[in-house]
Amino acid sequence: MELFGRKFFETKAVGEKQGYSYNGATFGYDSNLSTTTAIYYSLYRSNTDLRRCIEELYQTVGKDWYNLNEGENELKNSSINDILNYGDWFGTLKSVIIRDLEIAWNVFILPIENWAGATIGYQVLDPRTIRIVANCYWEVIKYIQTRGGKTKSFDVNELYHFKDAPDPDNEVLGISKVETLVYDIMTDKESWRSNYAFFKNNAIPSTLITLENNLSDNEIKSALKVLKAQFSWGANKHKISAAWGIKDVKQLSANMTDMQFTALRGFTTERICSSMWVPKTILGYSDGVNYSTSDNQYRKYIENTVRPLQSQLEYILNTLIYDLNPKVTLTFLDLNEFDFSQKITDYGSLLDRGVVTVNEIRTEFWLEKFDTENADANIIKQWYELLEDVWVNELTDLDTENANK
């Protein structure tokens, strides 16, 4: 992950560009971000699995809270903590950053300043409203936000722009994981509409109704109204009825192939979970295989998804904090219960072998250090001796030992 405004990209401009005049020079003006990103957020709103994946991520990442440290000293009461919790709550700031990072892979953060110019909080700007002005070498010149018909310009040093993997066609932007899911989610959206319509239309995929030729417009509407009232929705399936004016009813398709969309929706879930790196068991789905391996899947989810994302969030927040106080750093606590007992077992084994000290273990588990004798010394648990006091036999030269035999 990189913080833009501090790096130059020497690469050719690609894609459709519009001319943009800035101080007498012409730069590339990329309008793709607002259009494509709007699609991604629309899919996020319409698809349950995609939304649930992202909700799981920002609910799990940093859930054990954080510590602020200045060197080796923990800061209990700090103005930085007040800044991070400005407005709604730190949890909101964290969630919005993760949401934008996962959907758009672009996060724009604006410092909120008081009348004296001091930072008092942070606002995450909607990526759909941001335009980036850059030259052909991907040097960012400025950012332009358009919202509610109003336009505001930001210099590079006024706005923080974070991204994940760079877009190969436009290196000033991150490339979204949702991009590969557009057609899957659109297919899923059409499938539930088809299933809904299947039952609403009397569970008959396709039917031709023939009316008497001498019916007036009002009589036609009345006949169709009777059919709709008697046969709509699945509860009225297979009912028998007769209606005046109906000459014939021909069922053009008698199978239920439309309901095979259910299987396609299951495939879409697999694709979404794979792209977002969230096992589907985390979302509440289960089958014979997933249920029996859910513990291992959760472990992999924490190790390969949550903790890397947590490190990215630490980087973003520490970049913001650095400009407030270079000596202060934020570290998320990590107390996930799934490997807590295993962690205790592993450290117990290391303690027995004299690899770590008691206080090193307590620090790892965010506990206060012991102020007792040997708490900072390496010991061998079997004899409870200091490692440096353990007697070691003098080594004997092999040639000498063989000669004595």
- Per-residue 3-state assignment (H helix, E strand, C coil) for 180-207: HHHHHHHHHHHHHHHHHHHHHCCCCCEE
Residue 305 has pLDDT above 60, yes or no: yes
Query: Residue 382, SS3?
Result: coil
Provide the greatest CA pair distance for the chain.
Answer: 125
DSSP per-residue letters across 165-176:
SEETTEEEEEPP
pLDDT band at 320 (very low <50, low <70, confident <90, very high): very high
Residue 31 has pLDDT above 70, yes or no: no
Please give the pLDDT value at position 206: 63
Residue 288 has pLDDT above 60, yes or no: no
How many Cβ atoms are within 10 Å of 3's Cβ, its own excluded?
A: 15
Between the ranges 2-11, 178-187, 332-341, where is the mean pLDDT highest? 178-187
Answer whether 31's CB lies under 8 Å from 18's CB: yes
When comparing pLDDT for 8 and 343, which is higher?
343
pLDDT band at 243 (very low <50, low <70, confident <90, very high): low
Q: Rounded mean pLDDT of the chain? A: 75
- Chain-centroid distance, C-alpha 3: 19
Can you name the residues that pair with 385 across neighbouring β-strands?
380
What is the pLDDT averaged over residues 47-57?
90
When comparing pLDDT for 107 and 383, which is higher?
107
When comparing pLDDT for 362 and 264, which is higher?
362
Please give the pLDDT value at position 271: 80
* Lowest mean pLDDT, pick from 7-16, 221-230, 322-331: 7-16
